[in-house]
Structure 1
Amino acid sequence: MNRRPRAHVGAYLAASLLAVVFLLPFYVIARNAFSTQQAVVAPVWRWWPDALNGATVTAVLGDPSLGILPALVTSLVVSTVQTAATLVISLMAGYALARWSTTASRIILGMTVFTLMVPAMVTFIPTFVMVSSLGWISTYRGLIVPVVFSAFATFLFRQGFVDFPQELEEAAALDGANTWTTLWRIVVPNAGSSIAAVGTITFIGAWNAFLWPLLIAQDPQLRTIQVVLSQFMTSQGTRYPEMFTGALIGIIPVLLVFLFLQRWLVQGVEASGLR
């Protein structure tokens, strides 16, 4: 009778330990954001910040030369537009691959899965050359358009639509609905968990992107938050309090998105990707 409670206690202790391990880096970021340069570089572990007055936060947000606020706006625009475009394109592609079982669709599905195995770095140079030839350097089009198609999102939607009850679609067809109407009025309203999962993963990925915005956003006004944070590390040294403050500010939007959609994220992955 006591084995089950003991097992629960062990599971909770293990989960608590893992939570501490995962949350410790965020605590270090918050602690160093409210510390001085000397305290951050000191080779001594500290549990508490030594300058809990918010002066660094005010200085980072109020200094236009750092470009934190424009970078936040750029990251928000790029992440939101990229997420919306990826959702629309991948949803339609995934639905087509799930419903039309032809030789061509199977070949396209195989090619889509194959691209998941190709490292993104391999395609950066040809994609950059193409964007440069189109004159999209330092533009929102260059930041967004080349990365809106996601093989992972398409595959996730496809897996979710495979088990969608086709009786509902057949009933809609009997009422005179075409494929487009069926998709947007029958299928999409019942695919909320998959949409939330893909949207969350895409937004977080777009927000955390570094190398592609670094290559494309040569105009300082179009630099994203990740690129701006890297500028705190120079040959003269690293401005740690400002860098950690910017990182803390940059984490907040992603954290809010994850906290708001975490339940649907888990449901979407369970319903779509784990079959």
Structure 2
Amino acid sequence: MTTTTPDIRETAAPKARRSRRRRGVMGNTGLSIATGIAAFLFLVPFYILIRNALSTDTAITGEHWELFPTNIQWGNITDLFDDPSVDFAQSMWNSLVVAVSMTVGILLVCSLAGYALARIPYRHANKIFYVVLGTLMVPSSVTFVPSFVLVSSLGWVDTYRGLIIPGLFSGFTCFLFRQYFLGFPKELEEAARVDGLGYWGAYWRVVVPNSLNFFAAMATITFINGWNAFLWPLVIGQDPGSWTVQVALSSYMTNQTVVFHTIFMATAVSILPLVFVFLFLQRWLVQGIAQTGIKG
């Protein structure tokens, strides 16, 4: 009578699988906990913002902290837009015009520049590209005064032209577009040239329709930067009618008075466009940054 001994590998395999499964479950649990903690820490400032926006100044600065105000002050919204000292609705409109115009202008100018540097053969293309990169090394404070003198001499103070036109080129955005177009499939452009299209036709009919993810990502970043701009609009928009939302927010806190509930309500209202833009375009934002060819 012969006896067979079980293969060690056969008995060890189920144990190894169970061990890997256990480690996988523990890893997913740890990741979920870490994600939950990060989400909580991220949402706490927004909770405080909404809580204070719907409270009175006494509830904001009082000794006894309430998790949420028992008497919600919905009238703070009306007080914000009825404030005679600051036309907040006009400042929101000004910021929208500036941010949208800068987004469209920068996407057009920088995408054309990036495409030309990446695709059009020219012996000085690299030199021009190095000049564009050199602009990233120049602090904005160095060009601020000359830009203001130029805008002032053109009579563009307190105008949309003065707020928008000086910011219609970004060396960093141009760099990102060049990096993206270097990785764009050349076969599509060669097929377009076979059909008789030049560089402009290939760019407009082939490259742009197949690069909408990247354009959406750049549009998101540019819109947020344009909406959050403060120093340049503060200097150019000297008349209250040309204030952007960031300048209007600063006017609620002076050396004499600080109206807390108005500041918090104005801040909550001012971030709504950014939240909508980010939530709508977040998928394209991640994909677009991944397609720039930048590692690390």
* Paired amino acid for 1:87: L
Superposition deviation, residue 241 in structure 1: 0.3
Task: Indicate yes or no: 2:210 matched with 1:175.
Answer: no
1:9 equivalenced with 2:29 (yes/no): yes
Q: What amino acid is aligned across from residue 259 of structure 1 in structure 2?
A: L
C-alpha spacing 1:103/1:21, structure 2 compared with 1 (3 Å): farther
Find 2:261's aligned residue among 206, 222, 241.
241
CA contact (8 A) 2:183 2:293 kept: no
What is aligned with 2:42?
Answer: 22
- Verify the 8 A CA contact 1:156 1:194 in the aligned structure 2: no
CA deviation digits over 1:14-69, x for unaligned, max 9? 12212222221111111110011112123554421343131111111223432110
Contact 2:81/2:89 (<8 A) preserved: yes
Partner SS for 1:238? coil
Decide which structure has the larger Cα Rg and report it: 2
Moved more, 108-117 or 40-49: 40-49
Q: CA 1:237 to 1:62, structure 2 compared with 1: closer, same or farther past 3 Å?
A: closer
Backbone CA RMSD of aligned residues? 1.4
- Aligned residue for 1:236, secondary structure, equals coil
Q: Distance in 2 between matches of 1:50 and 1:159?
A: 54
Give the counterpart letter for 1:40 in structure 2: I
The equivalent residue for 1:190 is: 210
Q: In structure 1, what residue type is equivalent to 2:26?
A: R
Structure-2-length-normalised TM-score: 0.89
Aligned length, in residue pairs: 275
DSSP 3-state at the match of 2:291: helix
CA contact (8 A) 2:214 2:288 kept: yes
Question: Given the alignment of the two structures, is residue 105 of structure 1 paired with residue 125 of structure 2, yes or no?
Answer: yes
Aligned counterpart, 2:93: 73
| TM-score scaled by length of structure 1 | 0.95
Distance of 1:79 and 1:44 partners within structure 2: 41
Instruction: Check conservation: 2:51, 2:69, Cα contact below 8 A.
Output: yes
Ranges in structure 1 where 5+ consecutive residues have no aligned partner = none
Q: 2:247 aligns with which of 222, 227, 231?
A: 227
Q: Distance in 2 between matches of 1:151 and 1:102?
A: 19
Offset of 1:103 from its aligned partner? 4.1
Flag structure 2 segments of 5+ consecutive residues without an equivalent.
1-20
Q: Which residue of 2 aligns with 1:271?
A: 291
1:200, 1:261 within 8 Å by CA — same for their partners in 2? yes
